[in-house]
A and B are shown apart, each in its own frame.
Chain A
Amino acid sequence: MGITAKNFIASYTKPESLITEEYPEEKPKLPENNRNFPFLVFDDDPDAGLRCVSCKICERECPPQCIYIVQERDENGRPVKQPKVFDIDISVCMSCQICVEVCPFDAIKMDQEYELSSLDRFDPLIHDRQRLSKSNEYYHSIHPAEAAAVDAVLAEKAARKAGNKKAADNES
């Protein structure tokens, strides 16, 4: 009984021993690695700047098969490197991050938003492309270190591409 008495008194005398977070008023500080559901990163323009090229690797690899992608086609019916439909059913998604790992374009990342509960099973819980698209700045704001690393890699890739192109230009 001594132990419980100690804890009882401590809960009044030592504020840090109270472990409850009063949720709606104070929200937990999420560690950088925290993940919840995926989102799509765009660079500048929410429409054209989307990094996703609809290669469908994530759709294939997703273990619970919650991603659904339809590729965009232009007027001539030729595929364009843009997703026309990109849906994620977050009630099926199990936040495993495999889509992020397999994406070769760093286009899909994990979000930290968690207040997603709703009364409707369908509309609010099936995220479409528009809802999934979030800017690179947002990405930086939730995963600063990781985003910086990704940006570096992308910049390097771009530089190499540019270099290659320049080299190709030079050659021709």
Chain B
Amino acid sequence: MTALSGTIPVFASLEGAPIALKAWILGMLENMGMPEPFLMLVSIQLSILGFFSVFLLLFVLASWFERKILARIQNRRGPNRVGPAGLLQPIADGIKMLTKEDIVPVAADKVLHACAPVLIILPAFLAMAILPYGKNMTPVELEVGILLFFAVSTATELAVFMAGWASLNKFSMLGAMRAVAQILSYELPLILAATSVVMITGSLSLTAMVEAQGGYLLGILPNWHVFTPWGFAAFAMFFISALAESNRTPFDLPEGESELVAGHMTEYSGFKYALFFISEYLGLYVVCGFAVALFLGGWQAPLPFLTFIPSWIWFFAKILCLVFVAMWIRGTFPRVRVDHLMNFAWKFVIPLGVMVLVSAAVWHLAGRGPLGWILSLPPLLIPYWLMARAYGRNYDAGGRVYRFAE
């Protein structure tokens, strides 16, 4: 908090508002004579309730946001009938989803078919617990936070696989196979990109990572990892892999509707389908949240004189920016093909990820400064340039020349 926060008390009080609210409720309960274990339980419940409701709100917003953004990109208006500016559209959608008939194919494996949507939504919620939302606002302080993220996010592929397999539909099966192969392949670059940050920070805890990015270079440029050569490369890798991991366009092959109808979700309807839907958006928020925490300075303000705005507002603003970029990408790019996707992961991103590690190591040794810049750039640029040349040769990307007959 700088002196500015004193002049703007609203922001100052907002900074600690969520924590203060929790403390107030707890204090009130304590005054009522509640026993200690019960208070602890309530405290946990309140934290959970807090981010549960925030993220559900965000999910509701996201579907509205996505529709609006896509519509605007496509020169349409988007939802504008339900509520002001269509803001109640997600609720209408929810009601629609809930009132739809729940169809389970006769031949399906009914237990797994029912388990899959529940299982797919769990990892997102679990991963949310360790996100640092603001200063002292990590719901679960975990020493190995980033490991938890990777551990639970692998459960997604299991759920997708269960959904595809249990539906006993060829499209579902194909979609599930794709999903598993894809998530498995992109897990690796995701871990590599995160490892570079772990190397620099020397900790697996997300809070520590965010705190390591505090401070400003020359008083203006924030010390975020994304503003370093390795950090930028790792961020790009992380973001691309995160898109692939959460099945977003252009990597939405598992559900690629133009070839596989809806992939693993083909045989789902009603509320179960809605759960897949929710998990997609929540997954998007979670991966964006991790990208923010790892590379974009978490809840740190981008400019020193902006620190008066509460940290959690910054965090969510950054998440929303990344989410917007993801939606923008969705509005622009067509879907890649499955073998291209795998080639991209194994032949391009992963080698580059190893080089990012090298670069980060160099940076770690050479230190933040001109020397670090000079030494850590070549291990990134040279392989990038070589690989781009090697793979670019397969296509006439520069444009073809066409003959004309009179």
A binds B: yes
Q: Which residues of A contact B (CB under 8 A)?
A: 1, 3-5, 7-8, 10-12, 17-20, 22
B76 in contact with A8 (CB, 8 Å) = no
A4 in contact with B73 (CB, 8 Å) = yes
Most buried by A among B73, B74, B80, B329: B73
Asked if B96 is at the interface of the complex by the 8 Å CB criterion, the answer is: no
B75 in contact with A4 (CB, 8 Å) = no
A7 in contact with B329 (CB, 8 Å) = no
A1 in contact with B76 (CB, 8 Å) = no
B75-106 CB contact bits vs A (8 Å, 1 = yes)? Answer: 11100100000000000000000000000000
A8 in contact with B73 (CB, 8 Å) = yes
Give, as a whole number of angstroms, the nearest-CB distance from A12 to chain B.
7
Number of interface residues, chain B, beta carbon within 8 A: 12
Asked if B170 is at the interface of the complex by the 8 Å CB criterion, the answer is: no
B332 in contact with A1 (CB, 8 Å) = yes
A11 to B75, CA, bound (A): 6
Asked if B215 is at the interface of the complex by the 8 Å CB criterion, the answer is: no
A11 in contact with B328 (CB, 8 Å) = no
Give, as a whole number of angstroms, the nearest-CB distance from B274 to chain A.
27
Residue of A nearest to B333 (CB): A1
A-B pairs with beta carbons under 8 Å apart, 29 shown: A1-B329, A1-B332, A3-B332, A4-B73, A4-B328, A4-B331, A4-B332, A5-B73, A7-B72, A7-B73, A7-B74, A7-B75, A8-B69, A8-B72, A8-B73, A8-B328, A8-B331, A10-B75, A11-B73, A11-B75, A11-B76, A12-B72, A18-B77, A19-B75, A19-B76, A20-B76, A20-B77, A22-B77, A22-B80
B76 in contact with A5 (CB, 8 Å) = no
A18 in contact with B76 (CB, 8 Å) = yes
Majority DSSP secondary structure for residues of B touching A: helix
Taking CB atoms, residues of chain B closer than 8 Å to A20 are 76-77
A17 to B329, CA, bound (A): 21
A111 to B354, CA, bound (A): 70
Taking CB atoms, residues of chain A closer than 8 Å to B69 are 8
Apart from A8-B73, A20-B77, what are 11 other A-B pairs with CB-CB below 8 Å? A1-B328, A4-B328, A5-B328, A7-B73, A8-B72, A8-B328, A8-B331, A11-B73, A11-B76, A17-B75, A22-B80
Taking CB atoms, residues of chain B closer than 8 Å to A5 are 73, 328
Taking CB atoms, residues of chain B closer than 8 Å to A19 are 75-76
Give, as a whole number of angstroms, the nearest-CB distance from B271 to chain A.
29
Give, as a whole number of angstroms, the nearest-CB distance from A70 to chain B.
46
Taking CB atoms, residues of chain B closer than 8 Å to A10 are 75
A19 to B332, CA, bound (A): 19
A5 to B332, CA, bound (A): 9
A20 to B75, CA, bound (A): 8
A154 to B318, CA, bound (A): 73
Taking CB atoms, residues of chain A closer than 8 Å to B75 are 7, 10-11, 17-19
Give, as a whole number of angstroms, the nearest-CB distance from B298 to chain A.
26
A1 to B80, CA, bound (A): 25
Taking CB atoms, residues of chain A closer than 8 Å to B72 are 7-8, 11-12
A12 to B331, CA, bound (A): 16
Q: Which of B305-337 contact A (CB under 8 A)?
A: 328-329, 331-332
Taking CB atoms, residues of chain A closer than 8 Å to B77 are 18, 20, 22
The 10 closest A-B CB pairs, nearest first, are: A11-B72, A4-B332, A8-B73, A4-B73, A20-B77, A1-B332, A8-B72, A4-B331, A11-B75, A20-B76
A5 to B329, CA, bound (A): 10
A1 to B327, CA, bound (A): 11
Taking CB atoms, residues of chain B closer than 8 Å to A4 are 73, 328, 331-332
A20 to B328, CA, bound (A): 20
A10 to B329, CA, bound (A): 17
A8 to B78, CA, bound (A): 12
